[in-house]
Structures are given as structure tokens and as C-alpha cells.
Structure 1
């Protein structure tokens, strides 16, 4: 009997261990652990997943309550399970600390969306639990804008709103309500983005446009190119929403102003970067001289509330958003629309709220987003622009796009859904033309890299700083490996990754980048790139001076003011007359600088800030561009070059990109070239084998720096090779 009792006790212990192992390997907690790691990695890579984050938080909360109330669990088992949940909760908290926008999803009052409920059901099903029946959620308004205390209502605007008849809401063309059938319950935003990220080679990103026909009212002496006239014809035929993504230099400003005239979309609101406000007023007077234009400055004390076209900049939108939403605008143009790609920024939220209020007053307003570079980082840059245009809400397609998706007769589970969905979005109003296709008379352009050797002392200093940065990254990597190894020893985890752990490399680079954002130290990647820019400033200016002597006018671009100042000193020494466009200039000084470069034959060079002169400037009087410093994005580089390579250019354009050889500069140049493949692939259907899909070139540069350092460390030394040779012999 005693033996029998011992045998039963042994079987009981075995059964208990099996149940414990089953709990560790199955159930909800492992599913949540995997999901929270995906969220963590997404934030580290700059691609947060708020829906997944919220679902994990909700399920952790529910599972904690269930464990505490389960009478069948022993205290030891309950404590162990709660400890595992605490680990998941800790990762959630650390992730939210890196991405503060996620904190709002941890509150008890956080709203569950359709996507949240759908993912919740998926995770519960993966854990072997019954997700329960689907529930309907009432539609809610999604755009919440934090109001500034500086809200103003200019006196002229107040008078206009009291006196003019255009305040009456217009619902005459309200779209029919779409009954969602086949696609109910599907998360559609992800598939829509995926359809652009992986398009079929050669697929078009331009909606079908009617043939060009004469514009009803065109000022004397002005003419339109065929691609411009076709867009105006589309507006005349009734189309009202456009992502006008023509390559820079193809006349988007003129097209949008004439589109407003064709649609009679007055009063018209134009939201632009500060540096191009004056240029927009000029262009409006040029292309639509019969329409009055008023530019808003500051609090708008001198704005004409009765004007047909009102232009204001993103930077002051916060104090004017109130009256703008009540003014009765029948059209809205957002220039350089990639400025609103960050949904979390206040200017993006203000733009979205205004657009929403315009649509509430006018059933079919003219809405245009203008940008030659709609993709800066990845395809998610599309989302805020699509939302501004009214194609999607925050989490799902709106009725117009949903109707087109329903017409495909497919769901994301069907093979042909993705190309059909992409075409549905394009047909909503994406217009993308390339110079090579529609403006054959514009001469070709090329980017020529100009490697330069830095001064010996400066070169040694920069190389030493790069080595120090690489060693710091290696140290962080080694510390993470040691901590992971210690954790494995304690928990009996799986074996280590053989060789370089590339996922950990990316995480370490992300930590360094985050520290660099907050640090004022001179040893981070930002300071490194700035040092390199200063070191090559004189060499770049020397080359620009040679070009000016031999080839004519030159546009010189730099990112930092000290580099611009150093270039100016070189030009002064060489006796070369130059002018400047800087971020701290007044609009008058900026206009004067541009006019003198364009019209004065003695002004050979214009020194431009990449950020201040990268948009809204026509400098096609020159055909040579010198890029003294590299940008962090291909889009910024392209915008700079296209100040010269645009309609009106008669000479082939060459952009001379000055690169400090054997430094981080060369890595960044390579990454910019690879990143250029993203927009080409998503918008132009150009297949690229080496396109960089990471969110941030800065991150990728650090990843490569650390990877190279680890490979160099692991490479065999001369002594190692000698031993190998001896053994082989």
C-alpha cells in the first residue's frame, strides 16, 4: 500500500509538471508574449502598431482579473502566471515610454475600434479560446485636436461671415450611403498599403484622365502643357479629390489654381509652408488674375475676409483653425502635403479637422493634396493624405472608396484583391506623371558623386570619432548579449543566435538613435554628420566656384548655417558675387535674393538652405547644382535638385553631390540612393532590387556601422590565418 501510495504521488507530480509545461507553452500568455514582442520591435523600428498594443493591454488586464478570480488555481500557480503577465505589462510600459502616443490606449476609457475587436478575436482564437460573438460599435468622430489658447478671428473675416451668402451649407450632391457586405469585419488599411508597397512592375499610379481640351479662362500669354490640361478637364468633368503627385517641376501650383477655377471652388483655402506663401500669392495673381488673393500673416489683422483665395502657412494654422472651419470654404489645397504625414503632429490634426468641417458644409468640395514626394519614409506616409482627401477614416475606408472596393467582388483573402484595391485607390484621384513621360522637352538630369579627401588632421579626427561611436555601439551590443545569456542560464531558455544577431543589432541602433535625439553630446550620429559637413564645406565651395567660372550660374545647397557661412567666405575670397536663401530671412529678402540670382548676370551663385529653399523656388536659370551636405531623405535631395530641373529648363541638369570619402558620408549616400527605390516602386511601378524599406536612413546608417564593426571584430587575424595554414599543411 505504501508503494502504491508512492506510485500515485509520483504520477501526480508528473501530471502536475505536464500541466505546468502546457500552461507555459499553450494558452493566452504565450500568444500575448509574442504579440507584445512584435509591438516592441515595431516601435524600435519606428513603425508602432497601436491596434496590437491596445489589444495586448486589454487582454492582459482581462487575464489578470481571470487569474485572480479562478478558484481552481493554487496560490503558487496563480503567482507564477501573474508574474508572467507582469513581464508582458513591463514591456508594454517600456514600449509606451518610447512611443508616448500609445499611453492614451492604456486608459480604461480607451475606445475599441473595429480593427481592435477583430485582432482581439484573432489572438483569442490563436490561444484556443472562444472569442465570443462580434459586437457593433457606434460610429464616432475620430479627429481630436488640442485647441491653442491663441485662437483668433480677424475682424474682416467676422464681417465676411456675417454678410456673405456662401455660409449656407450645401448638401445637394451628398454621396449615396454604401452598404458594406463582402468586406465587413476586414482590416482593409493594411492590404491597401501593401498593394502600394508591392505593386506589379510597370503598373500605373495615375487615374484615367480625359483628353486635354482648351481651358475656359486662361490669361493672355500663358499656356498649359498637355498633362496639365488633362487634369483641369477631369475637374471640369466633376472629379473633386486629387493627390497630385507629379514629379517636382511639372507645374502643380498652376494646375491646382486652374482646377479651383474650373470647379468654382471659391472661397478657396490654400495651406502651404511658410517659405512659399508669397510665391503662391504671385502664382494666383498670374494664373487666376480675376480672383482676389489674401495672405494670412500672424494673427491675420490685415487679411481680407472677402477674398476668393486665402493663403496661410502651417505654422500659424493653430490660431486660425476655428474661424476657418466656419468660413464656408468650397475648396482646400494643401501644398507639400508630405508635411502632414505625421498624424500625431498638431498641424496634421488641424488640417484633418478643417477638411472634415469643409466636407460637413459642402457635400463635394474640391480637395487637393500637392506633393512631388508623397513617400518620405514608407507607404504609411499615404495615410494622413488619404484621410485629408476623405478616402479613408482613421481606421477604415470611407463610403466612396469602400464602394469601389466592394465593386471588386473580392476580399483580402482573394488572390486578385491587392492589384484591384490599388487601382481602386488610384481611381479615387491619384495623379502621378513623370518628367520623362510627359515633358520630353525638359532636358535630362543626372546626379554625379564627387568624392573628396578631407584634410589629414580633420580626417583623422572624424575617423577617430566614427571609431568611438562604433565601439560604443559594440559595447551596448555586448552588454545586451551578456544580459540575454544570463537570462537564459537562469530560465533555461533556447540557445543563442549563431554569429551576429541582426535583430539585436537593429534594436541597439534604435537605442542609440533615441539617445541621440535627446542628447546634446557631440559624439552621436547627428553631430558626426554635421562635423563631416563642416569639414567638406570649403572643398564643396571651391568646386562651386570653379563651376561658376566655367559653366555659369550655380545653385549651392547646404543643410546647416555654418556650412553656408563657410561657403560664403570662400566665394568672397574668390571675388564671386552670390546671394542667399536662408531660413531666418523675411519674405521680402527671400524674394529679392531669388530675383537677383535670376535676373542679375553678375550674381553667379545662390547659396540655399535645404529646408528653406527646397520647395516653391524656381531657379531654372542655372543648370548645375552642388549638394554640399547630404540630407536624411531622398525626397529632400530630389526637391532641391528640382528647383532647377523643371518646366522652363533648357539645359541638361547635373547635381554634384560632394561626399567625404571613407566616412559615414559615403554610407548615407548609398542609403539615399537605395531609399529612392521606395517611391519608384510604390508610385511609378519601377522594380528595384535593393530598395531600403526601413523607416529611417539614420537608423540604417547606425545598423551598418555596428554590423561592419562586429564583422571586423569577428574576422580572423593574421595569427589566426597562420595557425589555419599550419593545420592545413
Structure 2
């Protein structure tokens, strides 16, 4: 009987022990592994030196935190108390990640959803999972490489008959060995163990004296160019190409004639046939400029599947949107050079457009030694220094992971490493000498009148203002509620003796937590579908001030002449056009859905018809590639999310050919989010100034404006609540 009792009472004990093993203790499982690793990275950041291996660890920790959070939320077999415990501890690790990123903002790029995960990161991730007693993920298989690029998407690819005829007529390219001995290659390998791309980007983030490569005086231009009406700064770049320089990031301010410089550089370098990749809206403009500046060269524009193009043309112009159809035959065409216009369009390396451009540049370099490669953009930095990455890769200065030989040789020749303070200035100079050309209007085109941005505060209609203010309060209250819930969970964890990471518990506002809450709101995590977000808020503000902005434009048109009116949303454009029609003010309209013919007619009407006083433009459809300098006043009815977009709009008017001072009137709705967004846009404008113009002015965070706006809104709400308590 005793034996039976013993067996009976022993079974529950065994089951209990089994149940306890399914719920790991605080010192078991993945979280202690993450906590140890994140502390090591944090310590390195505090010392000011984060090595490549620690950057990899930072990314892996973030990935595992995300996966563990998703896993624990989806696990229905876990009790609510256990789930809260795990989520709180994960928040502690995430808090340390945020504080570490605040010390080294370059780490933020590793947190992006589309951030590349290297094989080293995958291996480290599997090692951490093994340390936690879990089965690691299978090793990633490398993606198969197609033998022929045209085999990747055969259903989309086309090959125009005349292009094939050109290739068959010239099946063999003459060997070109001119660049083989001239290519600089490293003679030492001091930097062999260093990760160099991040220090190179940071070298531009910190600013410096150097802003542009040294260019020669235009004393020996090709005969065909003599007598052309070139400005001095344009002739300098053409002379550099004539002297043998072949890669350029031409980042002159908008309006300084980059199209002409690119065409004439190709002429000086003999880089024909020349491939030009552009946004759709400027294809026709490139054809006109080619006829003007290189009249002895034939140009063809690819539309759709390319039917009717001239395969024997010297200049082939194609828009990004249809590159996927033509990348196969373009890569085999034997181009002597490639120009990418509005090169900031390729900044996202995961986009198809970027991948096709990079593929074409690689294939051109493989077939032609020392081709002419030019990236044209007046606004190369949209959000972050890393926007340079795809452009530098297109130019052949870097590859996915490291500098290519010419840049590596220049860095080796500095005799410095990233651990030495002088490295950053020397690295910046090394990159610039490869071909960064940046001139400002104030320096090289003093005859172009000055421009200024003037804010025009407007008071919204009372009912509209009440509605918008109420929506802003609701958004702020939602952010505050999430913040307080996170603080409460952390406090509860602290009282239970659970480690929650750095920061502790207190009444002071936790800036790292504020940013996490703001980022979750911006990304839509747990968002209340019935409430406004920052995007819908700004759209509502734009709609509310549309009539006021149009009224201001109408007054300008009656008093000072032609006006360019920019808006982001179609309904704002519609409302403005309705007001102009009611008042009998002639206008034309440039929108994204227009045909090429309708667009040309709208532009010509504004430029030549004295009765067309206003052109109503979409910021996205008309922000690039237009010359509207018959006007000297621009009305910005809605704010952009980037300073670059705003600058591009203004520079449709402030460019070569302008004879009047230019004023951009920025309509700001008082007592709303509008003023905060305006300040953030102006702060971010300093990023390009610091990176390209050598400015030492203070700049705001390189994080995006939406996030910063939400951070400001939540911080103000928390401060107001604390003051009222």
C-alpha cells in the first residue's frame, strides 16, 4: 500500500517538474543570451569604439528581440503573467539597444526592416539560438545567379529590332586597355581587417572643408565645343572629362545646368553610345537638351517596349519605370558611358530601379574599360548619409561590402586607420577626389538672383481648426497612453525584481521610450484604425489651408506676375484650381496622370501665354526637370516630408535664366502640426549642407521627419501633463 501511495504521489511531482521545464527561469532561454550580448555592445559604444563584429551583434540582437516578441505573443500555451514577464524583459533589451543607437546613430540603419542581413549575422544568430538551447535556423543558401541577366524575368524583357540590328552590325568591340595600368591599386594592406564603408559615410556626416574635387581651368576644350555659351563652372567639368576623368557625382545645386555638363562631358570623353536613365517626366527635356548641346549626335527616347527607337542612335534615353523590360539588351549594347539623372531615385538598393541601374553599370564596366559614369542630382541626400551608398556603387567606387581598388588605394595612402581622428577628413577628401563635384549658385552663378523662403502663417477656418486640434489631441493622448502603459509595465517588473535594462524607473521623461512609442505609431504597430495618424493629420491640414494658399497665390498673380503653385495632394490642387477659375485667373496644371502632350501644352501655356498667370503643380510630378523661370514667386501650399523635395520645387524657378529675386512662400497653418514640421524640414536641410557644402552648422537628427514630429508631439504632451499634475 505504501508502495502504491509512493507511486501515486510521485507522478504529480514528475509532471510538475516537466511543466516547470517548459517555462524557462529568468537565467535560462534566449533573453539572458541577448542581455549579455547587448551589454557588451553597449559597453563598446560607451568607449566610443564599435567594431564590425559588434555592429553585427547589434543587428542580430534586434532581430531576435523582434522574433521572440512575435513568438511569445502568438504562443497560446503561455500564461498571461509569463507573457508579460517575457515582454517586459525584452523591452529592457530594446531600451539598451535604443540608448546605444543614440550614442552611434549609424546603428539605426541596422534596425530598418529592409536592412541586409549578412551571412556573418546569420551565423551569429544561430550561435545565440544554440546557446539558448534552441534549434538554429538552416544555413541560408546563396541565391542562384542567372547565366544571362535576360533570363531573370524573361516574360518582361523585350529586345527592339533596331537595337539588335545595331549589336549585330558591331558584334566585337575594339579592345580598350587604356585604363588597365592607370587604375590605382593598394600597395599596402593596413586596412584589410577594417570595415570601411561605415567610417566613409560618417566622414561626410561630420562635415569638413573639402566640398568638391579640384577641377581644371577650361583652356583646352575640344574644338566642337568652342563658341558654345558655357558658364565657367560648366566648362571646368567638361575639361576634366577631356583630361581623362571618368566618374562624377555631379551634385551642383539645381538650376546650374547639369544636363548640359553631362552631355558635353560625354562628347569630350567620346563616351558614345551613351545611356541616360531618367525619371519619366524629364525624358522629353533630355531629348531637347541633347539636340541643343550635341546637335551632331542623334538621340532616341525609349517608350514602352521600344518599338520605333533608333538602335543606331548615339544617345539612348530611358526612364526608370521601364528599365525592367530593357535591361537585357541595354547591358549588351556596348555603351561607352551611362548617366543617371536625379540619382537620388536609386537610393533604395532593394528597389528594382536601383538594382537595374547597378546591374547596367556593372555590365558596362565589364565590356568597356574606363567608361564615363555620371550620377546627377542636386539633392543627393534625402534622409540619411547612407543615401550615398547606391550612387557610389553605381560609380564603381564601392561594392556591397567594401571600397573598390581605387578608393582602397587612396585610403591606404593616407597612412591612417578609422581609429585615428585624422582619418575622417582624409577619407572624405579621398572620396571627393574620385569625382564629387558640388557647386552652389552663390559661388559660381552670382548673376542668378538670390532666393529666400518666407513662411506665411494662416489662421484656419474656426470649425476646421477645432476639428484638426481635436484630432491632434486624440493622437497625442493615444501616444501618451502607450507611453504610460509601457512605463507601468516596467515599474511592475521592477517591483517584481525583474531586470529591465538601463534607465531605471522615475518621473523624468524617458527619451528612448518616447522614440520607441513614436516609431511604433509611425510604423502602424497596434495603431487604432479609427484615429488619425501623422500622415492623415498633415493631409487634413493641407485640405484645410488649400483655399487660403490659393487665395494668397491669386493675390500674388494680380500684383507681381506669374506664380508657381505646388501641392502634394490632388484634392488640394482641385480646390486651388476651382478658386482660380471662379476669379477668372488663367492657370495651367501639371499632374502625374497627364499624357506627355498634355503636360507639354500646360508648360508651354505658362511659359508663353500672358493670360496664364498660375501653374498648379504636383510636388511629385513637377518637382524635377522643369524650367519655370518666367516666374519668380513660388507658393508651397503643403509641406514636404523632406527638405530635398522642397528645394527641388523652388529650383524649378531659381535656376540659370532667372533675372528676378526668387521667393518661396510657405503656407503654414498656425496652431497645428504645421510649424513643427516646418522646423524639422529646415533642420534636415543642414544634413546636405554639412555633407556636401562643408558647413559646420548644427543639424538635426537624420531620422525621418515623421518620426521626429511624433517625438515632439508626445514630448510636449508629457511635459504638459507633468506641469498640470
* TM-score normalised by structure 1 residue count: 0.81
Could you say what secondary structure the match of 1:448 adopts?
Answer: strand
State the SS of the aligned residue for 1:541: helix
- Shift in CA distance, 221/654, structure 1 to aligned 2, threshold 3 Å: farther
User: Alpha-carbon deviation of 1:27?
Assistant: 10
Shift of 1:143: 14
Q: Work out which of the residue numbers 431, 449, 459 in structure 2 matches 1:453.
A: 459
Q: CA deviation at 1:713?
A: 0.4
**Of the candidates 632, 635, 638, which is equivalent to residue 626 of structure 1?**
635
Query: Is structure 2 residue 662 aligned with structure 1 residue 653?
Result: yes
Give the deviation of 1:543 after TM superposition.
Answer: 0.7
Partners of 2:667 and 2:605 lie apart in 1 by: 26
Classify the secondary structure of the residue corresponding to 1:555.
strand
Q: Which residue of 2 aligns with 1:644?
A: 653
Q: Which residue of 1 aligns with 2:713?
A: 705
Residue 91 to residue 675, structure 1, CA distance change in 2 (3 Å): closer
Offset of 1:149 from its aligned partner?
3.3
> How many angstroms does 1:23 deviate by?
11
**By how many angstroms is 1:154 displaced?**
1.3
TM-fit CA distance, 1:519: 8.7
- State how far apart, in whole Å, the 1-side matches of 2:148 and 2:90 are: 33
Q: Say whether the 8 Å CA contact 2:62–2:94 is kept in structure 1.
A: no
Q: Give the Å deviation of 1:373.
A: 0.5
Are 1:672 and 2:677 matched, yes or no? Answer: no
Cα distance between partner residues in 1 of 2:491 and 2:42: 18
* 1:369 equivalent in alignment to 2:359: no
The change in CA–CA distance for 1:475 and 1:207 in structure 2 (over 3 A counts) is: same
Is this contact kept in 2: 1:142–1:394, CA < 8 A?
no
Aligned counterparts, 1:17-28, within 5 A: none
1:223 paired with 2:221, answer: no
**3-state SS of paired residue (1:611):** helix
Match of 1:150 in 2: 156
Residues 405-432 of structure 1: per-residue CA shift (max 9 Å, x gap): 1111111122211101100000000000
Q: Does 1:506 align with 2:515?
A: yes
CA-based RMSD of the aligned residues comes to: 3.5
Deviation at 1:156, TM superposition (A): 1.3
> Matches of 1:277 and 1:23 in 2, distance apart?
61
Question: 1:244-289 deviations in whole A, cap 9, x for unaligned?
Answer: 0000000000000000000010111100001101111111111101
Measure, in 2, the Cα distance between the counterparts of 1:712 and 1:168: 73
* Distance in 2 between residues matched to 1:268 and 1:488, nearest whole Å: 65
Matching residue of 1:570: 579
SS in 2 for 1:612: helix
What does residue 714 of structure 1 align with?
Answer: 722
**What is aligned with 1:590?**
599
Residue of structure 1 equivalent to 2:499: 493
Give, in whole Å, the separation in 2 of the partners of 1:210 and 1:435.
Answer: 19
Cα deviation 1:141-194 (Å, max 9, x = unaligned): 999996473111111111111112564564442235434411110111111111
1:62-88 CA deviation, whole Å, 9 max, x = no partner? xxxxxxxxxxxxxxxxxxxxx99x969
Are residues 601 and 467 of structure 1, via their aligned partners in 2, closer, same or farther at CA, if it must alter by over 3 Å?
same
Q: Is the 8 A contact 1:267 1:330 kept in 2?
A: yes
Give the Å deviation of 1:98.
8.2
Q: How does 1:81-120 map to 2 (within 5 A)?
A: 99-101=112-114, 105=117, 111-112=119-120
Return the alpha-carbon distance in structure 2 between the equivalents of residues 23 and 331 of structure 1.
Answer: 59
From the superposition, tell whether residues 450 and 142 of structure 1 become closer, same or farther in structure 2 (CA, over 3 Å). Answer: farther
Partners of 1:50 and 1:328 in 2: CA distance: 41
> 2:450 aligned with 1:444, yes or no?
yes
Indicate conservation of the 8 Å contact 2:642/2:705, yes or no: yes
Q: Indicate the residue corresponding to 1:188 in structure 2.
A: 196
Match of 2:429 among 416, 423, 426: 423
In 1: Cα distance, 2:226 partner to 2:530 partner:
58
Deviation at 1:204, TM superposition (A): 2.5
SS of match in other structure, 1:204: coil
CA contact (8 A) 2:475 2:531 kept: no
> 1:249–1:521: structure 2 CA closer, same or farther, 3 Å change rule?
farther
Q: Secondary structure at the match of 2:620?
A: coil
Q: Which residue of 1 aligns with 2:534?
A: 525
* Conserved 8 A contact 1:522-1:528: no
Contact 1:166–1:328 (CA under 8 A) maintained in structure 2? no
Change (3 A) 1:438 1:52: farther
Look up the match of 2:301: 295
Q: Distance in 1 between matches of 2:147 and 2:677?
A: 37
Q: CA deviation at 1:716?
A: 3.6
List per-residue Cα deviations over 1:526-573 (Å, max 9, x = no partner): 111011101101111111111111100000000111100000001001
| Counterpart residue number, 2:691 | 682
SS state at 1:564 partner: helix
Q: Matches of 2:110 and 2:367 in 1, distance apart?
A: 40
Distance 1:91 1:656, change over 3 A: closer
- Candidates 217, 236, 240, aligned match of 1:211: 217
In structure 2, relative to structure 1, the CA distance for the partners of 1:555 and 1:57 (3 Å cut) is closer
Matches of 1:518 and 1:153, distance apart in 2: 47
- Whole-Å separation in 1 of the counterparts to 2:481 and 2:171: 69
Structure 2 unmatched runs, 5+: 1-24, 45-53, 66-85, 96-107, 132-141
Q: Is the 8 A contact 2:38 2:58 kept in 1?
A: no
The correspondence of residues 258-657 of structure 1 with structure 2, limited to 5 A, is 258-493=264-499, 495-515=504-524, 523-657=532-666
Within 2, Cα distance between the matches of 1:211 and 1:234? Answer: 9
Residues of 2 paired with 1:148 and 1:661: CA distance? 54
Q: How far apart in 1 are the matches of 2:234 and 2:581? A: 43
**Deviations, residues 118-152 of structure 1 (Å, cap 9, x unaligned):** x99xx99xx9xxxxxxxxxx9x9999996473111
Q: Paired residue for 1:232? A: 238
Contact in 1 for aligned 2:563/2:635 (Cα 8 Å): yes
Q: How many residues align?
A: 637
Task: Answer whether contact 1:219 1:289 (CA < 8 A) is retained.
Answer: no
Q: How much does 1:378 deviate?
A: 1.3
Residue-by-residue CA offset, 1:418-454 (whole Å, 9 max, x unaligned): 1011000000000000000000000000111000000
Partner Cα distance (1:334, 1:169) in 2: 25
Structure 1 residue aligned with 2:671, among 638, 646, 662?
A: 662
Contact 2:26 2:32 in 1 (8 A): no
How many Å apart are 1:518 and its aligned residue?
9.1
User: How far did residue 350 of structure 1 move?
Assistant: 1.1
Q: What SS does structure 2 have at the residue aligned with 1:312? A: strand
Q: 1:180 to 1:388 in 2, by over 3 A?
A: farther
- 1:70 aligned residue: none
Shift of residue 216 of structure 1?
A: 2.5
Offset, 1:220: 9.1
Q: Does structure 1 residue 245 correspond to structure 2 residue 224? A: no
For residue 33 of structure 1, what is the aligned residue in structure 2?
38
Q: 1:217: Cα distance to partner? A: 5.0
Aligned-residue offset at 1:298:
1.1
Measured at CA, do residues 520 and 273 of structure 1 come closer, stay the same or move farther in structure 2, by a change above 3 Å?
Answer: farther
> 2:701 aligns to what?
693
Task: Note if contact 1:660-1:666 (Cα within 8 Å) is conserved in structure 2.
Answer: yes
Q: Tell me the CA shift for residue 112 of structure 1.
A: 3.8
Q: Report if aligned partners of 1:268, 1:330 keep a CA contact under 8 Å in 2.
A: yes
How many Å separate the matches in 2 of 1:647 and 1:619?
11
Change beyond 3 A, Cα 1:96–1:195: closer
Whether the 8 Å CA contact 1:206–1:431 is kept in 2: the answer is: yes
Of 493-502 and 354-363, more deviation after overlay is shown by 493-502
